Amino acid sequence: MSWHGQINRTIWEINESLKKTPESARQRRELLRAHFLQHFELDKAQHVPRDDRSFLFLHENDAPLVLLLHGSSGTPAEMRDLGTHLHNHGISAYSPRIGVQGTRDKSRSWESWVSQAQIAIEIASTSSSSPFLCGLSLGGAVSLMLADRAPVKGIVLLAPALYPKSTIKTHLLRVARVVTPTVFYHFAGWNGEVLEAMDYTRKNQGALEMPVLAIQAGDDTHLSSKGLKYVRRHARHKDTEIHLLPEGSHVVTRGAAMEKVVELVTKFVERNAGTARLAIVPEAAPAPTIDPS
């Protein structure tokens, strides 16, 4: 049996065991590990660089869990520093690599991207009483799409892909999509898929009843800060935070804004998980990762 078949068999066996003992925290963690291993082995088979591979920083106790969804053209590397910081503060973090490399690959439609994310969310929901969702860019839009598909304790939106920055290029892309859609998708590639995902999210988003944290940098050259205003209009929970940072570029989990972002996210999760100031590990300690290689 191939490694893929073996892991699928393991996932099936754990699910069957969970039906008998749904309260088993250990079995729920094993399900998450099996899902991670499936992604990790696929990453290795596709020769994905180590830093770009899926990662899982998992506590053995029943710690809060945050599912980290990277951006459309990114990888889990964008979320690794945030995941390490969360783990050092007693919070488990899982970031599966979603999609395939190559911006013009037809299999990388935004719908298939959402489908892969939904499977990860369902596994995270099974593995934790109520996980947190944290998405960057398109990962943020997907988090909005799927937040009501499973019980979540809160949602973190980092530069959510809701409104593109108004440029000549985006204007031409929108015109081309209406006038010549076939030509548009041929030349626009993944940019076109992201615009479609933005439109879908804005048209179908309902009220956000869970706690929400939204962060974006003022110098983001990809997305408009109108997205933050959109989130505020739809947020209903009293614990809603909206932050427009002065700088940090598009990938706010790196660079100038990183320290502020990881602090805001960690405090938000601690507060809403009811674990503030518990199980804190010294910041200098490296976050252990499951690495089967």
pLDDT on residue 4: 42
4 vs 27, which has greater pLDDT? 27
Better-predicted residue by pLDDT, 166 or 87:
87
Contact between residue 39 and residue 55 where contact means Cβ atoms under 8 Å apart:
no
Q: Which residue has the higher pLDDT, 60 or 46?
A: 46
Burial of 228 (0-12, 13-18, 19+ CB in 10 A): buried
Angle at 241 between CA 146 and CA 268, to 5 degrees: 75
pLDDT band at 105 (very low <50, low <70, confident <90, very high): very low
Q: What pLDDT is stored for residue 23 in this prediction?
A: 52
The pLDDT tens digits of the residues spanning 7-37 come to 344 444 445 554 555 455 677 778 788 888 8
Q: Rounded CA gap, 233 and 236, in Å? A: 8
Tell me the C-alpha distance between 3 and 16, whole Å: 20
Burial of 240 (0-12, 13-18, 19+ CB in 10 A): middle
pLDDT, average across residues 88-111: 73
Ranges 3-17, 60-74, 248-262, 274-288, most confident:
248-262
**Residue 280: pLDDT band by 50, 70, 90 thresholds?**
very low
The confidence score (pLDDT) of residue 118 equals 85
C-alpha dihedral sign at 83, 119, 126, 238? positive
Say yes or no to pLDDT of 239 above 70.
Answer: yes
* Domain topology for 3-273: Rossmann fold (3.40.50)
Q: What is residue 103's predicted lDDT score, i.e. its pLDDT?
A: 41
Region label for 104, one of left (φ > 0), alpha (ψ between -120 and 50) or beta (otherwise): alpha
For the chain, domain boundaries: 3-273
Check whether 68 has a pLDDT greater than 60: yes
Average pLDDT over residues 256-284: 77
Using the predicted structure, report yes or no on whether residue 6 has a pLDDT greater than 70.
no
pTM of the model: 0.80
Q: Render pLDDT for 153-186 as a digit per residue (tens, 0 to 9).
A: 999 999 999 998 765 555 555 555 554 555 444 4
Strand partners, 217: 245
Q: Is it the case that residue 96 has pLDDT exceeding 80?
A: yes
Q: Of 97, 94, 235, which Cα lies nearest the Cα of 155?
A: 235
